[in-house]
């Protein structure tokens, strides 16, 4: 059996970059392979971030490119195969072909621990591979385990087995309140989420130890490890911590997050891009398209070139229509109104707090 590999994907976004910094600082003994899936259509700022990160880590970030023998960029290669059919949230062939398949080819059949940068203040799961040799771990969260693992470990069907395991570790690590919660079956009035939160709150290390012991009896990649450094990790990292890590390390926040001023009908606003990914990504908000048009006009023109034969990036509106002066004014004014509304609601003065409202949507392989 080959030894377990530890991998960490850099999407070009702030959270995965911060995770690489965090892991290399906190767990320098782990031999982590850093990789990035290059669609050929990222913003220059993303490529700059990857170079900065390589300098910080002191090791290369492996570039994975789909269709590596093609003379075209990976995206263009597959677009041609799909007959010009642009990807969309309902048909996300881009993620599958340009991110997931190259990653799964890279790891092959080796047992792999994949570290994922979902933050402690987010409510989303991230990409979980269907391949059983790939296990995702979430170091920024209190619950470092993936959903499939906790469902399996704490299901009622596993009730006796997990309580028996607890008895074994209770010789040295007993906790009455922990045992009391562990001994309660999941029910309508006591859902799994509540059981998890309580157990994690009472004793995170004990929780992790129990899960790890259980996994030792399974085919999960961690079953092969004698120990796992993250069992003792009780830290929870939220958005402020991510920005701090990036700034302190000198890697810096990806430049597309920098706010730019705009004025529309005497009203002032600020815009930026909220996420990594391809410059033409269909998940971007209308105001981000306008940001692209005004801040990266050559990229916007290229995005427009892809819209042909009735295919568009946005439902019901071409990019050509979107940049008509009246339409642009409306998008900007609507955006300023939304910011003002949300600022009053959240009391936050930070643009990213508003833009990041949509952060949880979309593709976890592209925007972490």
Positions that interact with ligand SF4 (CB under 6 A): 39, 87, 92, 94-95, 98-99, 277-278, 281, 283, 363, 366
Closest to 136 measured CA to CA, from 18, 217, 13, 19? 19
94/290 with CB nearer ligand SF4: 94
262/313 with CB nearer ligand SF4: 313
7/98 with CB nearer ligand SF4: 98
- Phi and psi for 152 in degrees, rounded to 5? -70, -50
Q: How far is the CB of 257 from ligand SF4 (least distance, A)?
A: 16
Q: How far is the CB of 363 from ligand SF4 (least distance, A)?
A: 4
Closest to 112 measured CA to CA, from 36, 10, 220, 211? 220
Closest to 360 measured CA to CA, from 8, 9, 94, 13? 13
98/200 with CB nearer ligand SF4: 98
Q: How far is the CB of 97 from ligand SF4 (least distance, A)?
A: 9
**The pairing of beta strand 32-37 with beta strand 62-64:** parallel
Q: At what angle do helices 204-215 and 159-169 cross, to 10 degrees?
A: 120
Q: How far is the C-alpha of 356 from the C-alpha of 368, rounded, in Å?
A: 12
Contacts of 160 (CB under 8 A, 6+ apart): none
Q: How far is the CB of 73 from ligand SF4 (least distance, A)?
A: 12
Q: How far is the CB of 282 from ligand SF4 (least distance, A)?
A: 6
Q: How far is the C-alpha of 342 from the C-alpha of 347, rounded, in Å?
A: 8
75/228 with CB nearer ligand SF4: 75
Q: How far is the CB of 314 from ligand SF4 (least distance, A)?
A: 13
45/166 with CB nearer ligand SF4: 45
Residue 25 burial (CB count, 10 A)? 12
Minimal CB distance to ligand SF4: which residue? 277
Alpha-carbon torsion, ordered 128, 133, 136, 137, to 10 deg? 170
Q: How far is the CB of 358 from ligand SF4 (least distance, A)?
A: 13
91/218 with CB nearer ligand SF4: 91
Q: How far is the C-alpha of 270 from the C-alpha of 266, rounded, in Å?
A: 13
Q: How far is the CB of 367 from ligand SF4 (least distance, A)?
A: 7
From residue 260, alpha-carbon distances to 76, 144, 265, 286 in Å are 30, 36, 17, 16
199/281 with CB nearer ligand SF4: 281
- Phi and psi for 273 in degrees, rounded to 5? -100, 145
Contact 29, 266 (CB under 8 A): no
């Amino acid at each position: 059996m080959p030894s377990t590999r530890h991998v960490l994907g850099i999407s070009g976004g702030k959270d995965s970059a911060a995770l690489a910094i965090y892991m290399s600082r906190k767990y320098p003994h782990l031999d982590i392979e850093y990789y990035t899936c290059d669609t050929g259509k990222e913003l220059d700022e993303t490529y700059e971030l990857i170079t900065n990160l390589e300098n910080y880590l002191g090791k290369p970030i492996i570039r994975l490119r789909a269709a590596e023998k093609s003379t075209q960029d990976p995206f263009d290669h597959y677009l041609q195969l799909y007959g010009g059919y642009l990807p969309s949230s309902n048909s996300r062939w881009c993620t599958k072909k340009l991110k997931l398949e190259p990653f799964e080819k890279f790891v092959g059949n080796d047992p792999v621990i994949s570290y994922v940068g979902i933050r402690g203040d987010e409510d989303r799961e991230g990409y979980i591979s269907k391949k059983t040799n790939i296990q995702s771990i979430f170091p920024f969260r209190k619950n470092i385990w993936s959903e499939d693992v906790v469902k399996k470990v704490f299901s009622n069907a596993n009730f006796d087995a997990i309580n028996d395991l607890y008895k074994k570790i209770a010789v040295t690590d007993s906790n009455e309140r922990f045992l009391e919660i562990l001994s309660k079956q999941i029910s309508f009035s006591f859902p799994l989420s509540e059981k998890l939160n309580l157990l994690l709150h009472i004793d995170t290390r004990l929780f992790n130890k129990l899960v790890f012991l259980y996994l030792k009896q399974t085919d999960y990649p961690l079953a092969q490890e004698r120990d796992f450094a993250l069992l003792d990790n009780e830290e929870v990292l939220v958005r402020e911590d991510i920005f701090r890590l990036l700034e302190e390390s000198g890697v810096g926040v990806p430049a597309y997050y920098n706010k730019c001023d705009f004025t529309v009908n005497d009203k002032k606003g600020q815009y930026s891009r909220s996420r990594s990914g391809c410059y033409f990504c269909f998940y971007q908000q209308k105001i981000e398209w306008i940001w692209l048009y005004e801040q990266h006009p050559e990229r916007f023109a290229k995005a427009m070139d892809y819209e042909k034969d009735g295919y568009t990036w946005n439902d019901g509106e071409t990019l050509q229509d979107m940049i008509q002066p009246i339409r642009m004014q409306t998008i900007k004014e609507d955006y300023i109104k939304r910011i003002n509304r949300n600022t009053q609601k959240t009391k936050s003065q930070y643009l990213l707090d508003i833009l990041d409202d949509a952060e949880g949507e979309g593709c976890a392989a592209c925007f972490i």
